[in-house]
Structure 1
């Protein structure tokens, strides 16, 4: 088999940023290109960080491509658009709860990344990629999340995991970023991502009031699920929410101080796994190649 390209799947979060900078520094082999899949609803801080990354990488001859399948926020509220389900929290009419199946990663992250990879290989859809031709795609999965590493589902991409080769954890990536002046790198996820923990929700509310208002408005707009299904007159089987408490985001208990937060303040070691998840949310933000999906829920 022949690898003609070395690509980076760039989420612009901690791990993938570390990989790009390591390649620029020559600590790992150079990438031919990095690909960022833009959902159209990233926080302003992520776009600013991405712009800085693009400029930095360009000086080392690494182009960063922004690709997109559309605006996830607008599409979700458009009754004419097929709804790519987000992992929304569901409260069913019988009082039970669940979580909607996560399709947004496949539609808004993987799909445009794969399309760009095919184009860079020289075989844009629908041209078949010849057998044995593939791009090596670096994924920012660190040692503490090794269980999320997986092979690509297409033969023209072969996933590799440089952070696993380095035996780096997320903390190692954070230390490295601080050492090279990129310590402000944040998690990359949509403004209204249901995987936000309370800390992220408070940060948005307290530091980005416009983005908070946007998320609160979106949360209210998706209460009845898919706009397209509603327009088609389909029966509502549950109410949708962005916050895991399954109450409107503007009323959600995001100021709760958890045991994990107290442990962080006091330096104690406590068994606070559940509270840590509530506080921190998904530690990896939006990870295209290793997402966590909720149970499928009909809406």
Structure 2
């Protein structure tokens, strides 16, 4: 959408906003720098980078409240589960809303008049039109230009390829539990990033840092990989029979997601991590 706006095929936007969790792959930051340098700046479109902090550092800091990641867990009775996902709201949605309020001239807790709002573009293609939703606040009105243009994901890829941007990386935290095996292998190809996520996986095994510091009893063991074994030992080179059997309906699309993860990465407004949490209080007192 940024490229289409810069090219004049869509109206010129006033701003582009990137919510930085502080833990994206280096390739994502390099790509963002390139977009700003080659597309946004020449078109006069400011790219605003907002952040609520570094999610990795915060998760391991006993002084911080733990904004739960959707971790794969083994409960004390041996049954598998997942923790509630709060990270997208805390590290992406909230800082974007804070920036928008600032741009409108009404920082929180100021009341924004009904007639004051922004038109916010969200990059959902026709493949996922059912994910297009209205904003949950009056001062943001969602628009979906790709759907309006009738563009599918394939159309987007072809357009990016024509701009020499075919290698656009997915935006998601390095240690996102919704990664598929292919994404874990990509991270493993970078020894520094692989060591980072393996160390984090080991660090969260015994619960979140704040709960541990408060001597709260554990309700289970947490893992980044859905196999619920340490990441350095996880079967990321193939999908195991146990993983396939754990899917609600073992069809081809499920196998595709096991391998490649969620289709669109972790967009602030369309994160595919909407699974029901089966253990909402991981690491907290029972």
Matched, 1:216 2:198: yes
Verify the 8 A CA contact 1:258 1:276 in the aligned structure 2: no
Q: How does 1:149-188 map to 2 (within 5 A)?
A: 149-188=132-171
Alignment partner of 2:178 out of 192, 195, 198: 195
Query: 1:224 deviation in Å?
Result: 1.9
TM-score by length of 1: 0.87
Q: Which runs of 5+ in 1 are unaligned?
A: 1-18, 260-270
In the other structure, the counterpart of 2:11 is: 29
In the other structure, the counterpart of 1:52 is: 34
Matched, 1:126 2:109: yes
Query: 1:258 deviation in Å?
Result: 8.3
Q: Deviations over 1:136-193 (max 9, x none)?
A: 0000111111121111111111111011101112221111100111111011101111
Matched, 1:293 2:274: yes
Alpha-carbon distance in 2 for matches of 1:40, 1:179:
30
In the other structure, the counterpart of 2:128 is: 145
Verify the 8 A CA contact 2:125 2:147 in the aligned structure 1: yes
Verify the 8 A CA contact 1:258 1:279 in the aligned structure 2: no
Alignment partner of 1:67 out of 21, 37, 50: 50
Q: Tell me whether 31-40 or 90-99 shows the greater mean CA deviation.
A: 90-99
Alpha-carbon distance in 1 for matches of 2:232, 2:240:
19
* CA RMSD of superposed structures (Å): 1.5
In the other structure, the counterpart of 1:241 is: 223
Alpha-carbon distance in 2 for matches of 1:220, 1:231:
17
Verify the 8 A CA contact 1:98 1:295 in the aligned structure 2: no
Alpha-carbon distance in 2 for matches of 1:58, 1:213:
35
Q: How does 1:85-104 map to 2 (within 5 A)?
A: 85-104=68-87
Alpha-carbon distance in 1 for matches of 2:155, 2:81:
35
Q: Which runs of 5+ in 2 are unaligned?
A: 242-250
Query: 1:273 deviation in Å?
Result: 2.0
Structure 1 pair 66–228 and aligned structure 2 pair: CA distance change class (3 A): same
Count of residue correspondences: 270
TM-score by length of 2: 0.91
Structure 1 pair 253–121 and aligned structure 2 pair: CA distance change class (3 A): same
Q: Tell me whether 287-296 or 243-252 shows the greater mean CA deviation.
A: 287-296
Provide runs of 4+ in structure 1 moved above 3 Å. none
Alpha-carbon distance in 2 for matches of 1:40, 1:249:
21
